[in-house]
Structure formats: C-alpha cells, structure tokens
C-alpha cells in the first residue's frame, strides 16, 4: 500500500495552505494519505512524490485543483443548524419589500446551505425579489451544487412541508436521489471564490452566511476573512457564523442579535 512520505506531506501541505489558507497539521496526515491514495493509484504513479511532481508540471493546473478538492472538508446538509433558518425568516420579514434582496452563502460546499436559504425565502418571504450567490474553493463541490441533485439520505433534516414542495424524487436511473425544485435552483448561482480574496464584482449583500469554515483558519486569517466579508455586507446587513464559531476577541462593527448571528452597524 502507498505510504505518504514526509517530503510529499510537506509539499501537499504547502500547496493546500497556499490555495486555501488552511494549515493541515500533522494530525491531518492520515486524512491526507487516505484521500489522495486512490487518486495516485488511479494515475498509475509510483508513489506520492511522483504525484507531487505530476502536480508541479506546469500543464497540470487541473490536477492541482483536483488535489485541493480532495483535501477540503465539505461536510454539510440541508437545514444544518436549523435555528439559523428561523432567525433568517425574522430577518427577511424586516427587509424592505420593494428592493431586491441578495444573500451570499460563502464556503457553501455542495450547495445545501444555499438551497436551504432559497427554500426559506420562498416559504417565509415569497414577496421578495431575491438571489443567492453560493461560493466555495472546491470546483468539485460547486459542480454538485450546480447539478442540484442529491442522494435521498441528505433529506433527513428537511422540514416535511419543504420536502413536498422543493424536493423532486428521481425515478428510473435517478432512483435514490432527488433534485431541488427549479424555482429554488434558478435563483442560486454558484461561483468559485477564495475567502481570502476580495472580489468587488460580487457586489454587496443583505445577508451573508459563512458557517463552519472559520474554525479551520488561524486567528490572523480568520480576521482577514471577516474583514473582507464585512466589506461585502451592507450597513444593517446580517452575518451568520456557525454555531460553534464566535467573534470573541475580534474588534468588528457588528452587534450580536442571536446565537452566532450579527448585524452590521449602520
Ligand atoms: C465544512 S464546509 C461548510 C459548508 C456549509 N457552510 C455548512 O455550514 O454546512 C467548509 C467549506 O469551506 C470550503 N473552503 C475551505 N477553505 C476555503 C477558502 N479559502 N475559500 C473558500 N472556501 C473554502 C471547503 O471547500 C468546504 O466546502
């Protein structure tokens, strides 16, 4: 069986740090080995060092992205941390009815969060003219989101009324999966974006979700990400972090309105 050498570990660690800003420590070594081994084998390469050389070759940007995709942690599901969707409904009810509403699901993984936001808007604030931008570093995850097709097991946390309304069960070759309804899908746009970069063309948002990702960064990068995110949040806009994440020790123009939910000062 192929074993991850120290030199390959260091090189892949540096590659992932440069791409994502996340330092995979020694404790993540077994994870790295397990996730990349089948890829090294599938390419018929001798060992992990040969895989690093393969990525290094200048024509190989695609393989580099593939390695990054394999090293990201993408756990997510529909209506994760459900209390946030109740808070979202309250926030939506307070927004002016006449202007378009923009929501950003940053680090969206395969899109379940972005679709959960869309379903909540259609159910709780159907009068709104809205759009959701969903972004992630992983192209592989974004592709899943763009397809909008998920295994049935992912429906576990979806409220029953939403199941009926927004989840279309697959038949024949799509047995065992479901597709998110078109009225949700057509308003959610997936784009690749690195949280450590500012993209002014993204515009500004009324609500931003950036949940269960800050925990992977050191303090300095976490601060940088939050500052960039805040640049994209409109005055009085609302920021959702993961329930296990907090802003303790950060000096930011935000006021806490609920668990891990903050409003930007005007
Ligand atoms: C654990 S998932 C969180 C998904 C979703 N927000 C949720 O709470 O269920 C973290 C996601 O962050 C993405 N990610 C990691 N580093 C990133 C970066 N520098 N820029 C953008 N996305 C990143 C990963 O690809 C992964 O899909």
For ligand 1, say whether the CB of 110 is within 6 Å of any of its atoms: no
How many residues are listed for the chain in this entry? 266
Instruction: State the Cα–Cα distance between residues 72 and 138, nearest whole angstrom.
Output: 7
What is the whole-number distance in angstroms between the Cα of residue 141 and the centre of ligand 1?
Answer: 10
State the pLDDT confidence band at 249, using cuts at 50, 70 and 90.
confident
Residues 6 or more apart whose Cβ sits within 8 Å of residue 22: 16, 216, 217
Instruction: Place 26 in a pLDDT band, splitting at 50, 70 and 90.
Output: very high
Q: Is 40 in the pocket of ligand 1 (CB under 6 A)?
A: no
CA distance 197 to 141: 19
Q: Which of 133, 136, 185, 187 is catalytic?
A: 136
- Using one digit for the tens of pLDDT, what is the confidence trace for 70-95? 999 999 999 999 999 999 999 999 99
Q: pLDDT per residue over 29-62, tens digit each? A: 999 999 999 999 999 999 999 999 999 997 889 9
SS (H, E, C) 125-157: CCCCCEEEEEEECCHHHHHHHHHCEEEHHHHHH
Q: Distances from the Cα of 113 to the Cαs of 66, 78, 189, 190, 231, in angstroms? A: 23, 6, 13, 12, 22
Mean pLDDT of the chain: 95
């Amino acid at each position: 069986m192929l074993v991850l050498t120290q030199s390959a570990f260091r090189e892949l660690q540096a590659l992932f740090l440069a791409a994502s800003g996340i330092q995979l420590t020694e404790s993540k070594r077994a994870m790295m080995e397990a996730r990349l081994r089948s890829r090294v084998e599938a390419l018929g390469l001798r060992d992990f060092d040969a895989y690093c050389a393969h990525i290094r070759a200048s024509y190989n940007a695609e393989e580099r992205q593939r390695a990054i995709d394999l090293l990201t942690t993408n756990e997510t599901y529909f209506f994760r941390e459900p209390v946030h969707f109740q808070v979202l409904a309250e926030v939506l009810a307070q927004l002016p009815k006449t202007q378009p509403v923009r929501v950003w699901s940053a680090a969206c993984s395969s899109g379940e969060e972005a679709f959960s936001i869309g379903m909540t808007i259609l159910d709780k604030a159907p009068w709104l003219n809205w759009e959701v931008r969903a972004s992630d570093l992983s192209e592989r995850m974004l592709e899943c989101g763009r397809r909008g097709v998920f295994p049935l097991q992912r429906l576990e946390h979806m409220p029953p009324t939403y199941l009926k309304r927004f989840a279309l069960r697959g038949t024949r070759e799509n047995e065992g999966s479901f597709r998110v309804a078109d009225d949700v899908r057509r308003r959610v746009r997936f784009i690749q974006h690195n949280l450590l970069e500012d993209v002014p063309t993204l515009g500004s948002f009324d609500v931003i979700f950036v949940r269960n990702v800050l925990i992977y960064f050191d303090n300095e990068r976490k601060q940088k990400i939050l500052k960039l995110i805040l640049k994209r949040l409109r005055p009085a806009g609302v920021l959702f972090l993961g329930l296990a994440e907090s802003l303790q020790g950060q000096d930011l123009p935000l006021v806490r309105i609920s668990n891990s939910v903050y409003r930007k000062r005007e």
